[in-house]
């Protein structure tokens, strides 16, 4: 269908102000935070801004009938081109549909629409002493709909897990416009094993199976106390050993972060006043809970860490905690500035490896960087093996871009070889599906079957998650 006709038809379904088609508007939907989007523009034919299930359903029925691709979009903070119309068609922007419909304090749950921004949800829940624990670094911009679609999490996944642990049910508009409720149409139950777990099928499916239009989340009581411990190492090997020592002692910190020597150097160059100790690695433990248990656990972790670290500091004083955490909080920005003419490549940035392979993965990434002559800054969530790598190149130099692509490919393959995964948080989108067969084997064929059953015309976010050649 020609773009002009598409826009005319969409304006019959939605009010005209909910259909965008001007060049400049479309251009602002042509990128996300990925490296691939930096060098490629994916401009949709039209953008729609529905704010009701009925509107989403009508758009889907129309798109299904005419076989027009539809790409759901939250805040566009994804790192994988997930929310980009790589096959053209319609982008469905759900960010403006941001109603928190009900906080059910007696049942410790909340019902909301997909565009609610993560940080705003937790700000709202604070008055009830409740919170939604997953904590992506993009909290101030990403939507809960995007988090469900990507099964997002953050540094506190060590203790609190990922989004999937909190989703009790969803309303989903299927590619043909049909509306379903998962988790039970009347249910407010927290435990529920009735029927096939369709909720989990949609979580992490990256908008390829339907549009999430309502979300029911389980909430947790907000911890009343917090403490930070920093441990400094002159031998990288000792950092993961400490992590294991702490787990063996029966303590589960809410977060355990690592900065290796490359990240320490980057932070000190970016903000010399932070003055991190010159070392092979720094670990940061976050402990939370009630004040007495946090105090006891912090002292215990400090005692354990002293066995292997050259320096340990523990604090529950808010000012000192902020200072101890400062290095970690600027790492991503510092990584992007290690070269005056450089820019961080957001690709291969998110591998996940078994706990006992973290050190090996960090060493191997360093070697791969040397092989291609590209500086790589390493940091990440060591508590669950999620390693963040930040190659820094001049993105205007095509030779460097080509080398970076090779480097990133080797990083992904290293993760699989070490028994891990190509992505622990950011997902597959249009940038990692080439590893799907290697990662999933015959299970990939089952994914194709599910995709075909729910989206027989292949209109729902095509070109994502599944390798394209095999998709149809």
Distance CA 311, CA 446 (A): 50
State in angstroms the smallest separation of the CB of 93 from ligand FAD: 8
The pattern of x and - marking residues 83 through 102 that bind ligand FAD according to CB under 6 A reads x----------x--------
Residue from 50, 89, 133, 136 that binds ligand FAD (CB under 6 A)? 136
* Residue 113 contacts residue 101 (beta carbons within 8 Å): yes
Distance CA 282, CA 264 (A): 8
Residue from 44, 50, 69, 72 that binds ligand FAD (CB under 6 A)? 72
Please tell me whether residue 327 binds ligand FAD under the rule CB under 6 A. no
Please tell me whether residue 454 binds ligand FAD under the rule CB under 6 A. no
Give whichever of 308 and 426 is closer to ligand FAD, judged by the CB atom.
426
* Residue 118 contacts residue 215 (beta carbons within 8 Å): no
State in angstroms the smallest separation of the CB of 145 from ligand FAD: 3
Q: Give start and end residues of each alpha helix (H) in 174-310.
A: 198-202, 238-248, 261-270, 291-305
- Of 425, 440, 432, the closest CA to residue 149 belongs to 425
Q: 286 has which bridge partners?
A: 228, 255
Stretch that binds ligand FAD, among 4-12, 136-144, 259-267, 300-308 (CB under 6 A): 136-144
* Residue 49 contacts residue 21 (beta carbons within 8 Å): no
Joined together, the tokens standing for residue 365 give 């990434």
Using left for φ > 0, alpha for ψ between -120 and 50, and beta otherwise, residue 5 falls in alpha
Q: How many C-beta atoms surround the C-beta of residue 102 within 10 A?
A: 12
Stretch that binds ligand FAD, among 71-79, 304-312, 397-405, 447-455 (CB under 6 A): 71-79
Contact positions with ligand FAD (CB under 6 A) in 402-431: 425-426
Contact positions with ligand FAD (CB under 6 A) in 148-177: 149-150, 152-154
Please tell me whether residue 324 binds ligand FAD under the rule CB under 6 A. no
Residue from 44, 50, 89, 114 that binds ligand FAD (CB under 6 A)? 114
Please tell me the total number of residues recorded for the chain in this structure: 472
Give whichever of 149 and 347 is closer to ligand FAD, judged by the CB atom.
149
Total binding residues for ligand FAD by CB under 6 A?
Answer: 36
* Residue 192 contacts residue 186 (beta carbons within 8 Å): no
Residue from 34, 57, 71, 378 that binds ligand FAD (CB under 6 A)? 71
Please tell me whether residue 142 binds ligand FAD under the rule CB under 6 A. yes
* Secondary structure of residue 226 in the 3-state scheme: strand
Following DSSP, what letter does each residue of 102-155 receive, concatenated?
Answer: EEEGGGTEEEE-TT-BHHHHHHHHGGGTEE-----TTTTT-BHHHHHHHT---T
The pattern of x and - marking residues 33 through 62 that bind ligand FAD according to CB under 6 A reads x-----------------------------
Give whichever of 304 and 347 is closer to ligand FAD, judged by the CB atom.
347
Distance CA 167, CA 310 (A): 42
Where do we find the tokens 């039970």? 184
Locate the DSSP E strands across 117-241: 130-131, 167-173, 179-181, 211-218, 220-221, 225-233
State in angstroms the smallest separation of the CB of 339 from ligand FAD: 19
Residue from 19, 37, 48, 211 that binds ligand FAD (CB under 6 A)? 211
Binding residues for ligand FAD, rule: CB under 6 A, are: 32-33, 71-79, 82-83, 94, 114, 136-138, 142-143, 145-147, 149-150, 152-154, 206-207, 211-212, 425-426, 461, 464
């Amino acid at each position: 269908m020609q773009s002009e006709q598409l826009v005319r038809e969409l304006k019959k379904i939605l009010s005209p102000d909910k259909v965008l088609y001007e060049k400049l508007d479309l251009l602002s939907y042509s990128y996300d935070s990925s490296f691939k989007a930096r060098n490629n523009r994916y401009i949709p034919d039209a953008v729609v801004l529905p704010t009701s299930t009925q509107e989403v359903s009508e758009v889907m029925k129309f798109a299904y009938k005419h076989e027009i691709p539809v790409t759901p979009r939250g805040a566009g903070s994804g790192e994988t081109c997930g929310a980009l119309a790589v096959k053209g068609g319609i982008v469905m922007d759900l960010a403006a549909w941001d109603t928190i419909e009900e906080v059910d304090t007696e049942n410790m749950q909340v019902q909301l629409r997909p565009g609610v921004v993560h940080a705003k949800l937790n700000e709202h829940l604070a008055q009830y002493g409740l919170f939604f624990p997953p904590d992506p670094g993009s909290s101030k911009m990403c939507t809960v709909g995007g988090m469900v679609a990507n099964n997002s999490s953050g540094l506190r996944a060590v203790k609190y897990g990922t989004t999937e642990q909190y989703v009790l049910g969803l309303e989903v508009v299927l590619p043909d416009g049909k509306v379903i409720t998962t988790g039970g149409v009347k249910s407010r139950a927290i435990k529920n094993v009735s029927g096939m777990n369709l909720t989990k099928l949609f979580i992490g499916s990256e908008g390829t199976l339907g549009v999430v239009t309502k979300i029911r989340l389980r909430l947790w009581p907000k911890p009343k106390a917090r403490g930070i411990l920093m441990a400094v190492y002159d031998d990288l090997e000792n950092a993961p050993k400490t992590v294991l020592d702490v787990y063996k002692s029966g303590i589960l910190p809410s977060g355990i972060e690592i900065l290796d020597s490359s990240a320490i150097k980057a932070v000190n160059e970016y903000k010399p006043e932070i003055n991190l100790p010159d070392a092979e690695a720094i670990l940061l433990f976050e402990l939370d809970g009630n004040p007495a248990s946090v105090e006891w656990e912090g002292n215990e972790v400090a005692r354990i860490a002293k066995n292997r670290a050259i320096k340990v500091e523990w604090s529950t004083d808010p000012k000192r905690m902020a200072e101890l955490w400062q290095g970690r909080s600027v790492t991503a920005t510092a990584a992007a500035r290690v070269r005056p003419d450089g820019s961080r490549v957001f690709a291969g940035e998110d591998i996940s490896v078994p706990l006992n392979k973290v050190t090996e993965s960090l060493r191997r990434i360093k070697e791969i960087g040397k092989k291609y002559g590209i500086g790589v800054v390493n940091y990440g969530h060591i508590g669950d093996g999620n390693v963040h790598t930040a190659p820094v190149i001049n993105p205007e130099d095509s030779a460097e871009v080509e080398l970076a692509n090779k480097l990133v490919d080797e990083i992904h393959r290293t993760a699989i070889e070490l028994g891990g995964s190509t992505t622990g948080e950011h997902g597959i989108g249009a940038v990692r599906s080439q590893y799907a067969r290697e990662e999933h084997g015959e299970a990939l064929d089952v994914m194709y079957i599910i995709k075909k059953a729910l989206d027989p015309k292949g209109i729902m976010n095509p070109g994502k998650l599944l390798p394209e050649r095999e998709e149809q």
